[in-house]
Chain A
Amino acid sequence: MENKVKRNLPDELMSDMKLKPFESVEVGNPEIKRIAPKVHVTTGENKVVDSLEEVIKKTLKDGMTISFHHHFRNGDFAFNKVMDLIIKLGYQNLTLAPSSLTSVMNDKVIEAIQKGVITNITSSGMRGTLGDFVSHGGLKNPVVFRSHGNRARSIEEGEIKVDVAFLGVPNSDPAGNANGQEGDAVFGSLGYALIDAQYADNVVLLTDNIIDYPNTPASIKQTQVDYVVKVDQIGDADKIGSGATRFTKDPKELKIAEMVNQVIVNSPYYKEGFSFQTGSGGAALAVTRYLRQSMINDGITASFALGGITKPTTDLLDEGLVKKIMDVQDFDKGAAASMAKNRNQQEIDASWYADPHNKGAVVNNLDVAILSALQIDTDFNVNVMTGSDGVIRGAIGGHQDAANAKMTIITAPLVRGRNATVVPSVETVVTPGDSIDVLVTERGIAINPKRKDLIEAFSKVPDLNIVDITELQQMAEKQVGVPKPLEYTDRTVALIQYRDGTIIDTIKQVKD
């Protein structure tokens, strides 16, 4: 069957897995029912145990679903500690459902797949050796990729039923009150893990830092936690987030950032109390710098900044240019440290951030989102998942979710090396073109033809070089040539869900 973004979906797999094809970016007003977790009742004054192995044996059975969060990023020690024991104990047929997978987890996941310990995976993304392994057919069942908002929705609606959540935290009291803000391995917001703490049948905290009761602020609460496991070290602080964020010196990225800022300040959304989300890429960080200067010059302040947060954004909070930060994740040490001392930097969970089946999520209040792309096609569909070789090397993250902003801007260089970024048709559709409004490249700005209002507003601004997206695609092709189409086998190795759970695209096994 073909879905609304003209992708052919494998009929047999779709019906076996009871999946529906992607229809529309409009969520509508469905009535949905949320599930509730099992509660193992206890008075729970002291849940501290030393043996992780005992906890695993008590809580885990073959065929269950286990979850982790990725807030420690590449400084994570929790995942490998837990998986080592699970593999050693000989568990089989587990579903791995983390908020995402970072490179430091890759080897352990591959080992667990090869030993039959893990047979299903759902994640925001995967990179490096694991992406390569899956793209070459290493896992029998297709991986299901979900955005952060969609993961929250799937857990709330029971599509992902987490049996045991293993959540690393930099501190906890003996009853399980914990946050991400104090200790040796702080990462700030616990946004993604809060959903697991709320909905998993068994919640196991791992920490190297047990502090006096009651621990506040309690992001994860004692009402949710079954065990607190004391470990030697929960993470490597130096690898959690980059240290001081450096601004790019790449002239191409700076030019793109300056153009993005021009688009923002000339848009109808740039007025007192506007809101924005930027990513963590070089150009996105530079946009924050240009935007800051414009806001000072024009005497405009933002009501909130959203998303994965970096220090340049918390600096705006300190300067009073941004009134609040709605923070689901922190990308660097500065942003993580800022949360502990600034009450206007509000920790939000993934559901509040972006769940489409909600009574409103923050992304629905968002004016401007600045997002990146590996590829964007002439229908404005965006790929952030597969490389130009067709191999999995990315993550949906909050891309589909933040693209709900009133104006979604994609920033991308026209070409990267010999690979065109603006292409006739993306390898993998992740975010549908219907939710993308503007593309900014160093060679020109393309506006989605559906946004007649933006076309009219921007065509009055002489500094903006507005071009048709097909013109950008042809410029790129003229520079790099026409690539030979990639070859795949018929086997589906991954499914890309849209945020409502429908299937927007599939990834096939690459042919070598």
Chain B
Amino acid sequence: MEIKTTGVAGTLESSDIQIMISKGDDGIQIDLDSEVIKAYGDQIKKVITDTLEKYGIDNAKVKAVDKGALDCVIAARTLAAAQRATETSDRPELGVLQ
């Protein structure tokens, strides 16, 4: 899946995560800022990576600002940002979230 533009999804509200996805050429690079980075940093990165790979993105730069989001929220925001970045929002791929 080709990234065409920068895609953003999510807010900076408590229990949400804001994900920004842009073009990259060295695998999935995640810059994560989180209040719970010590306890859940690895898990958050894993959910973002898994979601992108399931959607068919292998190279991307990801900037994530987490405010304590649960895994289901992280996956949903990642998918929305990815679909905006690939300009495919008109065909929601909700199957990725299963």
Interface residues of A (CB under 8 A from B): 388-390, 416-419, 479-481, 483-484, 486-487
Q: Which residues of A contact B7 (CB under 8 A)?
A: none
Residue pair B38, A389 in contact (C-beta under 8 Å): yes
| Chain A residue nearest to B47 in the complex (CB) | A481
| Chain A residue nearest to B17 in the complex (CB) | A418
Residue pair B36, A419 in contact (C-beta under 8 Å): yes
Residue pair A481, B38 in contact (C-beta under 8 Å): no
Residue pair A483, B70 in contact (C-beta under 8 Å): no
Q: Which residues of B contact A487 (CB under 8 A)?
A: 38
- A-B pairs, top 10 by smallest CB distance, nearest first, are A417-B68, A483-B39, A418-B68, A418-B36, A484-B39, A417-B15, A389-B38, A481-B43, A418-B40, A486-B38
Complexed CA–CA distance, A479 and B15 (Å): 12
Is B31 at the interface (CB under 8 A from chain A)?
A: no
Complexed CA–CA distance, A390 and B36 (Å): 11
- Residues from 38 to 54 in B contacting A, C-beta threshold 8 Å: 38-43
Residue pair A417, B67 in contact (C-beta under 8 Å): yes
Residue pair B68, A484 in contact (C-beta under 8 Å): no
Interface-central residue, A388, A417, A479, A483, by most chain B CB under 10 Å: A417
Residue pair A481, B36 in contact (C-beta under 8 Å): no
| Chain B residue nearest to A484 in the complex (CB) | B39
Given contacts A417-B14, A417-B15, A417-B35, contact A483 B67 (CB under 8 A): no
Q: Which of A388, A417, A484 contacts B42 (CB 8 A)?
A: A484
Q: Which residues of A contact B39 (CB under 8 A)?
A: 388-389, 418-419, 483-484, 486
Measured CB to CB, the closest approach of chain B to A439, in angstroms, equals 22
A interface: dominant SS: loop
Is B69 at the interface (CB under 8 A from chain A)?
A: yes
What number of A-B contacts does a CB cutoff of 8 Å give?
42
User: Can you list 19 contacts pairing A with B, beta carbon distance less than 8 Å?
Assistant: A388-B39, A389-B39, A417-B14, A417-B35, A417-B36, A417-B67, A417-B68, A418-B15, A418-B36, A418-B39, A418-B70, A419-B39, A419-B68, A479-B70, A481-B43, A484-B38, A484-B39, A484-B40, A484-B42
| Chain A residue nearest to B34 in the complex (CB) | A418
Complexed CA–CA distance, A482 and B19 (Å): 23
Count of chain B residues with a beta carbon within 8 Å of a chain A beta carbon? 15
Complexed CA–CA distance, A457 and B67 (Å): 41
Q: Which residues of A contact B68 (CB under 8 A)?
A: 416-419
Measured CB to CB, the closest approach of chain B to A36, in angstroms, equals 49
Interface-central residue, B39, B40, B42, by most chain A CB under 10 Å: B39
Complexed CA–CA distance, A484 and B38 (Å): 7
Is B2 at the interface (CB under 8 A from chain A)?
A: no
Q: Which residues of A contact B41 (CB under 8 A)?
A: 484
Q: Which residues of A contact B15 (CB under 8 A)?
A: 417-418
Measured CB to CB, the closest approach of chain B to A102, in angstroms, equals 23
Q: Which residues of A contact B70 (CB under 8 A)?
A: 418, 479-480
Measured CB to CB, the closest approach of chain A to B64, in angstroms, equals 14
Is B33 at the interface (CB under 8 A from chain A)?
A: no
Complexed CA–CA distance, A417 and B35 (Å): 10
- Residues from 17 to 39 in B contacting A, C-beta threshold 8 Å: 35-36, 38-39
Measured CB to CB, the closest approach of chain A to B63, in angstroms, equals 19
Is B93 at the interface (CB under 8 A from chain A)?
A: no
Interface-central residue, A388, A486, A487, by most chain B CB under 10 Å: A388
Q: Which residues of B contact A416 (CB under 8 A)?
A: 68
Q: Which residues of B contact A479 (CB under 8 A)?
A: 70
Complexed CA–CA distance, A486 and B37 (Å): 11
Complexed CA–CA distance, A390 and B39 (Å): 10
Q: Which residues of A contact B42 (CB under 8 A)?
A: 484
Measured CB to CB, the closest approach of chain B to A421, in angstroms, equals 13
Measured CB to CB, the closest approach of chain A to B48, in angstroms, equals 14
Q: Which residues of A contact B40 (CB under 8 A)?
A: 418, 480-481, 483-484
Measured CB to CB, the closest approach of chain A to B37, in angstroms, equals 9
Sample of 14 more A-B contacts, CB < 8 Å, known A419-B68, A484-B41: A388-B36, A417-B14, A417-B15, A417-B67, A418-B39, A418-B68, A419-B39, A480-B70, A481-B40, A481-B71, A483-B39, A484-B38, A484-B39, A484-B43
Measured CB to CB, the closest approach of chain B to A387, in angstroms, equals 10
Measured CB to CB, the closest approach of chain A to B44, in angstroms, equals 9
Q: Which of A390, A418, A483 contacts B69 (CB 8 A)?
A: A418
Complexed CA–CA distance, A416 and B36 (Å): 11
Complexed CA–CA distance, A474 and B31 (Å): 31
Measured CB to CB, the closest approach of chain B to A397, in angstroms, equals 25
Q: Which residues of B contact A481 (CB under 8 A)?
A: 40, 43, 71
| Chain B residue nearest to A510 in the complex (CB) | B38
Measured CB to CB, the closest approach of chain B to A482, in angstroms, equals 8
- Residues from 50 to 75 in B contacting A, C-beta threshold 8 Å: 67-71
| Chain A residue nearest to B14 in the complex (CB) | A417
Q: Which residues of A contact B43 (CB under 8 A)?
A: 481, 484
Complexed CA–CA distance, A416 and B15 (Å): 9
Complexed CA–CA distance, A479 and B68 (Å): 12
Complexed CA–CA distance, A305 and B35 (Å): 38
Measured CB to CB, the closest approach of chain B to A426, in angstroms, equals 14
Complexed CA–CA distance, A129 and B41 (Å): 23
